[in-house]
Amino acid sequence: MKRLLAFFLAYSVPLGAQDAAPRNETILADELRADLFFLASDEMQGRLTETPENAIASAFIRSRFERLGLVPMGPEGSFYQPFRLLEAKLQNPLENGIELLRDAGPTMRAQLGDSFFPLRFSASGSVEAEVVFAGYGIRAPKLSYNDYGDDSVRGKIVLVLDHEPGERDPDSIFNGVVTSEYSRNLRKALYAQNAGAAGILFVSDVHNHPGESNFSSLAARTWPDTPRRVPRYTLALWAERVHIPAMQISLAFANAIVSTTGRTLDELARESEVEGGVEPIPVPSHLLRVTASVERHVSDTRNVLAAIEGSDPALKDEWVIVCAHFDHEGADGNRVFNGADDDGSGTVALLEITEAYALAARAGERARRSVLFAAWNSEERGLLGAWAYAENPAVPLAQTAAVLNMDMIGRNEEVRVGGGRRFRGLELQTAESNANALNIMGYTYSADLRIALEEANRGYELELEMDYDNNLSNLLRRSDQWPFLQMGVPSLFFHTGLHPDYHTEFDVPERIEYDKLERIARLVHQMSWNVANSSTRPSFDRLKDAAAVQ
């Protein structure tokens, strides 16, 4: 309590005119509007990753950073931070197969698309080995949870469940009802690989999702006959870490595999809901021969990074990151997904905040800590730009005091009847009821950062709604602060909420609330300035939940 009080006092800077962040008043609705009408215009064609318009958007941001005299933070003096995306294709469908070799009875061959399919991050290769059931296939040392036991899966093919234990339990150690990073199948493949497994099979956690799903439909969506308008990517550096075959299998085929254990898959799955994880269960009298043939195509894309160096010799090597993503969903013929709110609003706010810092620096006013301005790419493809940065940061994460992420800050939250899965977990509400509201996420990860936000808001009097850190909507993990929370960095997500135009062609600049956008941009600027000038750094209060830190 004494430390928290001391931190509060350190941040208690009254926001009178003389105490406001310098040049805060230069953040103007008219300038936000002008930039957004360019960035979210039809001519920008929705800024989809790996399109000319996406490259134009990054060049536009880069030119603004350079004109303002910021320090480039990419490699070799560039404003661009390159990273690689991976798109997978079935190299030869006939070369993908699973055979169940039984001591008694004929070989059972699984049918591609009906009983199995390779996952998109799978390595190519063939392995023949015994099978071990390993629960959810999670290894989480900080949570004292391990489904791999000692050395019992070495050289084996592991069969694991999708998702995570207690997925509907608000008190689950795995981020409550928010889908945790531990449940990501690619991470589970790495957990298995690190435990010595020769291959991994995934099956639906049937006890939480009962009934045979349409497996053929799932396979067709994963490997469509005709190319998708929007390709599915992962980070190349993630997939390149996977060296074992990884397959999704049907419930029927999984039950055939585990039949010699004397238990059904449903029974094994229910037994996996156990504190601390399961002891791996050998499947007797069976061998599996698994062959995956997946072709990996790698392409290059980029974030845009710039900085203003801090003024304090003792603190300038610490950093505050202010960020937003500039990509969106592209266009489908005459339908343009303009992405004015998502996330044109955050991007233009980032540009205005950057300009305020640059104008202050020209007048000799710099924050004590350094400030990094980051425009992420490929957020819509799975937060890939922010993840790429978190994996290969321009400044050490251990020296990053806070991340302030803006995504969809230009409208009012509105949830109507029949909104569909996009609005799962959200209560019905009108736009009018949220006219002054701003959703904040990440608040449970740092009490210090929450106090800093509430103090900065004294000058703006926005209604700070803090409801979604443990919510079925998964909003907490649906924007670019998520990778930093997983790395143990205090981070906040500023978000005015979903609305019926979200991810539709009606998310256009004409529908943005520019006066509200101005106030939010000014709030983020003020808060970033306060954090960058405080004598103390915000704490990170949930290190055990930082799943990417093993």
Tens-place pLDDT, residues 474-486? 999 999 999 999 9
Judged by DSSP in three states, 94 sits in helix
The residue-averaged pLDDT of 161-176 equals 96
Q: Where in the chain is the domain with CATH 3.50.30.30?
A: 92-292
For residue 16, pLDDT over 70 is answered with no
Contact 371, 305 (CB under 8 A): no
pTM of the predicted model as reported, rounded to 2 decimal places: 0.95
Tell me: cis bond preceding 312? Omega within 30 of 0 counts.
no
**212-227 as b/e: b if 16+ CB within 10 A:** eeebeeebeebbeeee
**What are the residue ranges of CATH 3.40.630.10 in the chain?**
2-84+300-415+422-535
Comparing 105 with 74, which gets the higher pLDDT? 74
Q: Are 476 and 442 in contact (CB under 8 A)?
A: yes
**Tokens, residue 167:** 């997925």
Q: Assign domain 2-84+300-415+422-535 to its CATH architecture.
A: 3-Layer(aba) Sandwich (3.40)
- Rounded Cα distance between 231 and 254, Å, is 29
Highest mean pLDDT range out of 2-11, 224-233, 359-368? Answer: 359-368
Q: What is the 3-state secondary structure (H, E, C) of 483-543?
A: HHHHCCCCEEEEECCCCCCCCCCCCCHHHCCHHHHHHHHHHHHHHHHHHHHCCCCCCCCCH
For residues 39-53, give the mean pLDDT: 98
Q: Are 209 and 514 in contact (CB under 8 A)?
A: no
For 335-345, write each residue's pLDDT tens digit.
Answer: 999 999 999 99
Bridge partners, residue 291, by sequence: 97, 126
Question: Is residue 9 predicted with pLDDT exceeding 70?
Answer: no
Question: In the 8-state DSSP scheme, what is residue 82?
Answer: E
pLDDT in tens, 509-530: 999 999 999 999 999 999 999 9
Of the chain, the percentage scoring pLDDT greater than 70 comes to 96
Identify the CA nearest to 297 among candidates 57, 50, 96, 97.
50
DSSP letter assigned to residue 252: H
Quote the tokens at residue 506: 């009606």
End-to-end CA distance of the chain: 29
Element (H, E) at 246: strand 246-249
Flag whether pLDDT at 1 surpasses 80. no
Q: How many residues does the chain have?
A: 550
Apex CA 69: angle with CA 66 and CA 72, to 5°? Answer: 60
Residue 484 near residue 396, CB atoms below 8 Å: no
| Angle in degrees, 0-180, between the axes of helices 2-11 and 447-456, rounded to the nearest 10 | 30
CATH number among 3.30.1360.120, 3.40.47.10, 3.50.30.30, 3.40.50.720, domain 92-292: 3.50.30.30
Whether the pLDDT of residue 218 is over 90: the answer is yes
Quote the CA–CA distance of 93 and 356 in Å, as a whole number.
55
pLDDT at 167: 94
Question: Which band of pLDDT confidence, cut at 50, 70 and 90, is reported for residue 550?
Answer: low
pLDDT at residue 285 tops 60: yes
